[in-house]
Chain A
Amino acid sequence: MSIGSPDSTVGVEDHPASAEPVREASVAHGKSPTRIAIDRLRKDKLAMTCAGIVLFFILIAVFAPLLTKIEGGDISTFHTDLVDEYGFPTIGINADHWFGVEPKTGRDNFARWVYGAQPSLIVAFVATLFGTVVGVVMGLLAGFLGGWVDRLISWVIDFVLSLPYLLFAIALVPIVESMRGGSFNLTPDEQASTRFYVLIFVLSFFGWAGLARIIRGEVLSLREREFVLAAKAIGVPTRQVLFKELLPNLVAPIVISASLALPAYVTAEAGLSFLGVGLIEPKPSWGQTIATATNWFKADPLYLWLPVLGITVLVLALALLGDAVRDAFDPKTRR
């Protein structure tokens, strides 16, 4: 007697021992690993909260102009009447200035905070994305292919890591400015946007090398494993081995690196701003605010902790989300 198609129930009564388990018609055959992961994530309350937080920050950055309008402040008006002769704000949080005002200049902190999220987040995300993608690809190629590919890529990594990145950043700005017509012919806005792109480039340029080395190291270890050897033996094309076999096992270091990179890029932006190669006025950014606020941390704590809190919460959310993603994708971890 034929068993029939899996969805049929014919024959179950006749051959109970060898019968296929009863399945409902609406259920799919099997879930793809991605589906399983996403379902798991959806059930994880913490992960969902973190995703929500990240979305919240993105929305703040996107809707900065609207939010500032609601508050009634703006990023560039100097309110020095609200600041005493030593630069201390004479007011704290009030109805006009939801986060108070900046020392010395008296500019509105709330406006500068929401607007400041934009460049900081964009720079950090883009640099992280670029650095991660390039770093992973390079690391994979170097670790897996070995031979002259490895030697070449390792050489480039060593070179990139040896270069004094501060000097490089300082040097790059006028080069790009001159390509755009020279610093005399650029308006302050154009100069600011030039620096924006240069900064992203510099951070990405120096950021991928570290991750590439980490990935390379892991790949060196992984490529001798049985499942890789098996795949090679079967004749799976290299590209598939790299991206389908190795990459899933590298999710952990990738996620960790990205989550560590993000706050590091924001602070790097701060440091570079101080040395005059980061983002410049009048465009506000969390990094610049942090750079100035570190001097005032005792006298005007709010000024410092607001952007720091912004970064911390964002990064924490990203990191925990990343960990949850990693755990969700890993078939071996059962919770």
Chain B
Amino acid sequence: MQWKRITAVAATVMLAVAACGSPSSNSNSGGNTGDAGTAQVKATDPTLKGPAPEIEGAKKGGTVTVLSDVTPDTFDPTNTYFVDGMQISKLMYRSLTQYKLDDKTGKPILVPDLAEDLGTRSADGLTWTFKLKQGIKYNDGSPVKAADYAYAIKRSFATELYDAGPTYQKQFFKDGDKYHGPYESGDNYSGVETPDESTLIIHLAKKFDDLPYYAAFPVFTPIPKAKDTQKNYEQKPMTTGPYQVASYQQGSELKLTKNPNWDPNTDPVRHQYPDGWDFKFSQDLLKVQRQVLASSGPDANTLNYTDLDSSLVPEVKDQSQIIKGQQPCTYLWGLDTRKIPLEVRQLVAQAYPFETWRKVAGLTPDSAIPASTILPPAVPGYEKYELPGLNGTGKGADDPAVAQEIKGKLKDLGKENFELSWYYSNDDKIANQVNQLRTQVYTAAGFKVKAIGVSKAKIRTLRNDTKAPVNIGQGPSGWCSDWPSGASWFPVLFKSDAVDLSNSVGMLQDKTLDAEIDRIAALSPDEQLKEWPKLDKNLLENYLPAVPLYYSASAYPVGKNIGHAINDVTQGMPEFTSIYLKQP
């Protein structure tokens, strides 16, 4: 009958899995994050020039096919914020700055892309000046003008039209709250200036020291006003990267061909080895991952950028077919510090049944590294430390002895049957099972559990309600770095004003903590690298606003013919711009 085939048991359409990284060696728990322990020393290199050094053994030619189960909704540079869209954009759009991955460690170094430098900050921090490279051309041969950079920035304020893009410019740029884009508010925008062809000046409303990092986003790629067809721009965009759009069918396929006007001498990061790229979306996950692993015939030139499904792990015969790496994300279980006293929070953390939970939640050693800190290893400012009992592993109160111990301690504190409450999605199978597990374990540990089941579609609103009648799991359940800097974590998640913005993990409202965070954020980037780890430890030791659960990691299958497939740690995606085909 009709509905016999409408049984839509689709492999979950997980949009933008932003998962955090594990080291690129074998699959086991964070043990070999050896290189992540040392603080990042050189995070920027303002003098790096093109061309990017040739990769040993790289050959030119052939078409790489990327088979994906997820569907990016857009490739308009102003509207791109999803992880895969951003990464694919690097093939087409160049920005003011870009990331070069260190050859040995894979760590990201910020380098100039279409700008000559990484921007010069004024003394008060409210003006940034970028020198623009000259002689850059679009894929149709026309020259890139300074006004195009300015226009792209102006375009990014039309957030009613480009509603999926990033919005930092509205927050930090001058008149960001008043200017609504060139279509509505006209061309006059006081936040950008192009006094001459080689200068771009950005005026800020408040200090934004991470602006050079933000400038790596595709939102800064130049767009000529005359070619702006708004929603149709992505069909035939002006590209400055090594590739141009040959055809784009939203939801199914994106084909890229070589951009003849890309000059490698101006580009310190990218390569143009394959002749073309063929992205196919909306495929069945298990089918394509098997296809890629089997690599027979044309499948040897394919890859997939979703974490390898755990049921396929035994089918991996050649480990070199799996790209492994870190992702800049940590997942946390927020504990409302206003409602749960510190000692009880510590018992909650002690009771967490990591071992069982990881299995029930489907987290594998490849894609989810047990976490012991807030900042993940992929982000500079991370230093490995482990507080006793808080390392993302262990049985917790699943072990009856531990459960008894916690029960006893609760009694001593006079907090027997302390009520823990949270929301969970009762129509999601895994969320349901995880909830059952947590309920069982915490009840055994002497707590009273009130778990409220709600529909998946409603849970976001409930989790963002700071006045909700629950005390666990509110606020963001995880955080991913938009750029490699601790300054995009701590001020956003742990300051008092985060509570009202519904961004707070743990609902901390501590003035001393606020002051400390502000102090560190005002330091130079290199000094920050030394201070963030201390704050991180301080937070977990003395405040415990959340139980760190895991850092997400990449484990992507690639075909046998794909060369130099490495993980780009800034996004947690393969670095497309350095891939080549071994046999084109």
Give me the interface of A with B, judged by CB distance under 8 Å. 76, 78, 80, 83, 85-88, 103-106, 161, 165-166, 173-174, 183-184, 188, 191, 206-207, 210, 260-261, 264, 267-268, 270-277, 280-282, 288, 291-292, 294-296, 298-300
Contacts and interface: CB of A to CB of B under 8 A. Distances in A.
A277 to B, nearest CB: 7
Contacts, number: 116
Given A206-B3, A261-B1, A274 B359 contact: no
B315 A298 contact: yes
Contact of B360 (A104, A282, A294, A298): A104
B341 interface: no
Contacts of B7: 267-268, 270-272
A166 B1 CA distance: 15
Interface residues of B, number: 42
A295 B8 contact: no
A264 B3 contact: yes
B451 interface: yes
Nearest to A291: B9
B2 A210 contact: yes
A191 B359 contact: no
B433 A105 contact: yes
Contact of B11 (A188, A207, A295): A295
Interface string B1-23: 11110111111000000000000
Contacts of B55: none
Contact of A281 (B1, B286, B436, B451): B436
Interface in B6-51: 6-11
A48 B456 CA distance: 47
A292 B453 contact: no
Contacts of B9: 270-271, 274, 291, 294
Instruction: Enumerate the 3 nearest inter-chain pairs by beta-carbon distance, A residue then B residue, closest first.
Output: A271-B7, A276-B427, A281-B432
Contact of A298 (B311, B427, B428): B311
Nearest to A288: B429
Interface string B360-397: 10101100000000000000000000000000000000
Nearest to A265: B3
B359 A282 contact: no
A188 B453 contact: yes
A282 B432 contact: yes
Given A88-B314, A282-B432, A78 B356 contact: yes
Given A105-B360, A281-B429, A85 B365 contact: yes
Contact of A299 (B10, B311, B440): B311
A85 B364 contact: yes
A173 to B, nearest CB: 8
Given A166-B8, A183-B453, A299-B314, A87 B359 contact: yes
B429 A273 contact: yes
Contacts of B429: 273-274, 280-281, 288, 291-292
Contacts of A288: 429
A273 B430 CA distance: 12
30 contacts: A78-B436, A78-B440, A80-B355, A83-B359, A85-B358, A86-B310, A86-B365, A87-B364, A104-B360, A105-B433, A165-B6, A166-B6, A173-B427, A183-B452, A183-B454, A183-B455, A188-B451, A188-B453, A264-B1, A270-B7, A272-B7, A274-B8, A274-B429, A276-B428, A276-B455, A280-B427, A280-B429, A281-B436, A288-B429, A299-B311
A236 B360 CA distance: 65
Given A78-B360, A87-B359, A105-B433, A267 B4 contact: yes
